[in-house]
Every structure is written in C-alpha cells, then in structure tokens.
Amino acid sequence: MEFINKTIIRGEKTDLDNIRKVLGALGDPHLKIKTVHITGTNGKGSTAAFAASILTELGYKTGLFTSPHLIDVRERIKVGGENIGRQEFCAAVGSAAAAYEALKIEPSFFELMLVVASLYFYAEKCDFVIAEVGIGGRLDSTNVLNGAVCSITGVDFDHIEYLGGTLREIAREKTAIVKPGSVLTVNVEDDGLYDFIEKEAFERKAARVTRTGDSVGGRVLSVNTGGTDFVIDSPSLKEKRFHVPLIGDYQFQNARCAIGIIEELQTAGLIKIDCESVERGFVKTFWPGRFELFKKDGAFIVLDGAHNVNGMTGFVRNLKTLFGGLKIRAIISILSNKQYDQMLGIISGAVDELIIVGINNIKKKSVEVNSLVENAKKYHDNVICLSDVKTALQYVSKSGNFDLSCVTGSLYLVGEARERLLSRSGRYAGKVECVNYESCFKA
C-alpha cells in the first residue's frame, strides 16, 4: 500500500512513454487480449458496464477496467462482474512495483492501476477486456491499449483545461484512441461534429466508422424507481424490449452504445449474439452511484455522481420526472475543475434545500466550501453549509419534512455517502434498502 499511496501523492501524468516501457518489461500483457476501448464525456462507464455484462452472459470471460472507484480501489478491476481478489491485487501491484523500480520510473496512480489490471486480465486468460478512458483519450494511460472496437459515447464540455475549449478540440482528443484497423462507433447527434470525428478516425487508419444512431435504433418505454425499460432495434435484435436496473432516460443511449459495440464484435466474427444472453446481461448490470436509489424509514436517498453540466442536466430531468411534487433536498460538492456555477444553478431549480459539504478524500481538488455556498446563494434561498457528507447524512436523518435527499456533484462525494449508507455498523446499519438493485450490499 505504501507504493500505491506514493502514486496518489504524485498526481497524474500526461505521458505514455513510461507506461509503455513498464508494460514492455512485463511482456506487454495488454496487447495479448482483445480490447474494447470506450471514451466519452458522459455515459462511458455505464456503456462499459453494459457491454461487459452482456459479453459475460454470452459466455466470454470479460475483464472490466473503470474509474474512479467509489469505496474500494479493487472496484476498478473486475472479471465476470467480480472485483479482483485482495491476494491477486497485491501480487499484481508487487509485480508492477518491481518493474517500475527496476526501470527507475515513478508511476501515477491511474497508470499503476492500468498495469495491475493488464497483468490480472492476462493471468485470468480473459477473452475480452472492456476499458474505460480516464480523461479524454490521446494522453490517457489507457491509450496504450489497441482497441479492436473503440467507442465515443458522446462529446460535451468537461476537463477543458486538458482537452480544449471547443467541441472539435475535445472530439479530436477522444478520437485519438483509434488505432490502425480499429472500428469506431460514435454516438453524437450533430452532423458536423460526426463528420469531423469520422475524418479524424480515418486519418488514424480506422477500418470503419459507424454512427450509433444509424446502426442501432429504439426508444425509451418507461423510467421508474425499478430501472429503465426500452426497445432496441439493431441488425441482431429486431424491436426487442429490455430492462436495466439503472435509472434514467439517458441509460437508453448508453445501452444503445453498448449494443453498437456488441454488433461490431459480431461483424468482426469475434462473438455470436443471442437475445436471451443480451437480456440477462442488461438485467444483471451493476453500476452503483449512478441514480442509485435507497429507501430509509419511508424516505428516499438518491446517489448520483453527476459531475458536469450535461450530467447534472440529465440527473435533474429524471429527478423531476420521478419525484416531481415531492420535497427534495440535495447534498452537494463539486470539484474545482468543473463548471460548478452552472451545475449549482441547474440543481437549485429542482430542490427545496441545498446542503453544501466538503469532500474528505480529495480536498485539493474540491471547491472551497465557502465559495460553493456563495455561488449557491445566487440561485437558492435555502442553503446550508456542513463540514462533510457524514455530518450531512446525520442532519438529514434527524430533520424531517423532506421526502427525498440526493447526494450529487461528484463521484468522490457519492463514494463517501455510499460507504456510510452501507456500513455494517452505525446509524444506518440494517435500515437501508436499495430499491433498484437486488442487493444494496453488493460492491
């Protein structure tokens, strides 16, 4: 753990040379497994989770690499839906650390996790790896991977200090995950932006570029507290109805992206699709912290990691659809590199009380609480400031008159809240029911 802790203190890097050297010294395990590489401003994690679950149900041993984790670092690395074991995690960290030290290279935390994941997936003899980009694509550590299928789930404004201030600049960074021979699926509505991405991809020698909206149709049927129902219409799935436990109309878009990926894998002759396995894959998808709904003493608690303007807009839209007319409070904190003023304005229109808190595990990146409070007061008359999410949840449990509380603005904040809600001891032990998943204690 000391080696890992040093990487966290060190911060992130924007150079792929070091990770290539280390993976080369370890035998390039990342190049020995068929990979699906997914980027996008929003929805890439849900898309990755859907695709991995479907491939698992189709009978393929599938690794899943995502970020960030909510509670346990091992959440980032899964095979068959299960976290990497503690023993396997420690062994892989040890192997990676030895390689870094031999080469006299200091890794970032994210870089180290990808090396650990690559070693584990290779040792487990995975048939496929689904890898979610951390930020952007071009300089992200995952860009050492060679995606047979690459996917862009959407392009919007986020991380503009790294990716650029225009949609085309951001799209160029994301399209850079394409390798010669890759197939790229793109989920963007704007024709001009799609044409730009297509041109960029072919310049990178993509084998084919497909637009998700053209190849996979369908529609949302319903969104309720048990999840989302929709119809998918694709070459292998003609007007088929599916259910996912993830709540939100936008989950249809994410599911459609996943099906676009699965269809391309079949076109390449790598898999065989059957509807029943796809249905099971959707139903079994577990992706916590994204409109995850809990119930305690008759009141609802929603955890949603909406961390940018687009994500907050979607969250609020579905919050109003499902709980319009109820009295709602929000516990919120936002990282300093986000468009927090706009996000506060969006959430303020949907809630009756705003509780501003700090984030304990990422203080250097979170906006100063006082600054958030001052910005929030521009949009809302009922703003409260509390030290952290623990204090906020205690306040919520003692003060009545509200039907629903939501924790949002950052996945790091959601992780803290989820850990406290699911704690085996303390105020919430045995009293919290997860509504949209079979077991709220799955992690």
pLDDT digits (tens, 9 = 90+) for 193-210: 999 999 999 999 999 999
**Contact assessment for residue 201 and residue 173, using Cβ atoms and an 8 Å cutoff:** no
Distances (CA, A) of 41 to 133, 153, 187, 309: 10, 7, 11, 10
Instruction: Pick the range with the lowest mean pLDDT from 25-34, 138-147, 155-164, 371-380.
Output: 155-164
142 neighbors 44 (Cβ within 8 angstroms): no
Q: How much is the pLDDT for 11?
A: 55
For the residues 90-114, what does the mean pLDDT come to?
96
| Over residues 233-240, mean pLDDT | 98
ω before 180 within 30° of 0 (cis)?
Answer: no
Which helix (H) or strand (E) is 92 found in, with range?
Answer: helix 86-102
What Rg do the C-alpha atoms of the chain give, in angstroms? 21
pLDDT score at 412: 94
Share of the chain above pLDDT 70, in %: 92
N-terminal to C-terminal alpha carbon distance within the chain: 21
**Tens-digit pLDDT profile for residues 316-333:** 999 999 999 999 999 999
Split at pLDDT 50, 70, 90, the class of 398 is confident
State the pLDDT at residue 102. 98
**Which range, of 200-209, 224-233, 336-345, 376-385, averages the lowest pLDDT?**
336-345
CA dist., res. 302 & res. 414, Å (int): 10
Give the pLDDT band (50/70/90) at residue 423: confident
- Burial of residue 105, with CB atoms counted within 10 A of its CB: 0-12 exposed, 13-18 middle, 19 or more buried: middle
Rounded Cα–Cα distance for residues 144 and 28 (Å): 10
Mean pLDDT of 28-47: 97
- Kindly state the tokens that stand for 388: 């952290």
Q: Tell me, what's the pLDDT at 14?
A: 62
Q: For residues 8 and 361, give the distance between their C-alpha atoms in angstroms, rounded to a whole number.
A: 11
**Is residue 426's pLDDT more than 90?**
no
* Domains of the chain, CATH where assigned: 2-283 (3.40.1190.10), 292-434 (3.90.190.20)
